[in-house]
Amino acid sequence: MSAREVRTDLAAYRAAVAELSPLVRLGRGAGAIRVVEGRGAWWERLIDAAAFVVDEPDPAPADVHGRLALIAAPVAVVRRRLRPDVVADAGAEPVAARHVVVDAWGGRTDATALLRDALGWARVLAGGPLSVVAHADTATATTLALRGPDGVGASVTRAIGGGVGGAMVATALGPRRVEVRVDSASPLAEVAFDDDEGRRIRPVRRESPERLALRRVLEAVESGATLNDLDELAADDAVLSPSSE
C-alpha cells in the first residue's frame, strides 16, 4: 500500500505525519487528506481532498451543518477537550447515570467553544442527545439545565476568567460514578470510576491529538468506515445555539 498524502502547513500535523510514516507522507495531490484550521468559515475549505481533518472548529450554524451532512468524504474533527479515545475510556464501565454535572472555566477568547465541549461531555455521559430545559447568562458565566435520554438530567456551567484555553470536570452520577478531568494546559486527561469497590483510574492517553486524528481518518479512508464527528459536532452546536455569545 502506497503512502497516503497529507496536505498541511501546521507544524504539529507535520510532526504527526512523520510519526505515522510510511503510512502517510506530506503532499498536495487530489487524493490527499487535507488538514483544515477551524477558524472562521472552515466549512468552505472542505474541498479538493479525499478526506479532511478539521482542527478545533468554530461553532457553525444549523444550515451549514445541513450541508456538511452531505459530504461523502471522511471528516475527523479535532476537539482536544473531547477526544474520542478519552470518550471511549469514559464508557469503559457502565455507569447508568441519573444526573450529569459539567463545570468548565476558561478565558473569554475561547469561551464559546469551551461551552460547546462541556455540552459535548454532558451528551456523552448522559448517553445521547440533550434538550435545553433552562439557561441563564451573566457577564462571566453561563448555566444550562438539560434533559437527556430516559429523563437523565444534566447541568452545565461555564465560568469566564482570565487567560486563554480552558478546563473542565465532567461527572456522571449513578450506582457507579465516572469523573473526567480535562485541562487545555495539559495534554493528559484523567478518567476515574468510583463505586463500592473503590476508585479506578484509566491509563492516561499519550498519543497526540494530531496523530490520533490522522490515524482515525486514514483508517476510515482505507476501510470505508463512517466517522460520526460531524454529527456529534452538529448536535453540540445545536444545543449551544440558543446560548451563543
The tens-digit pLDDT sequence of the chain (245 residues) is: 689 999 999 999 999 999 999 999 999 988 999 999 999 999 999 999 999 999 999 999 999 999 999 999 999 999 999 999 999 999 999 999 999 999 999 998 889 999 999 999 999 999 999 999 999 999 999 999 999 999 999 999 999 986 667 899 999 999 999 999 999 888 899 999 999 999 999 999 999 999 999 999 999 999 999 999 999 999 999 998 754 44
Q: Rounded CA gap, 111 and 81, in Å?
A: 13
In degrees and rounded to multiples of 5, residue 233 shows phi and psi of -65, -45
Give the up-direction half-sphere exposure of residue 108: CA atoms within 13 A in the CB hemisphere: 6
Its pTM stands at: 0.94
CB 228 within 8 A of CB 234: no
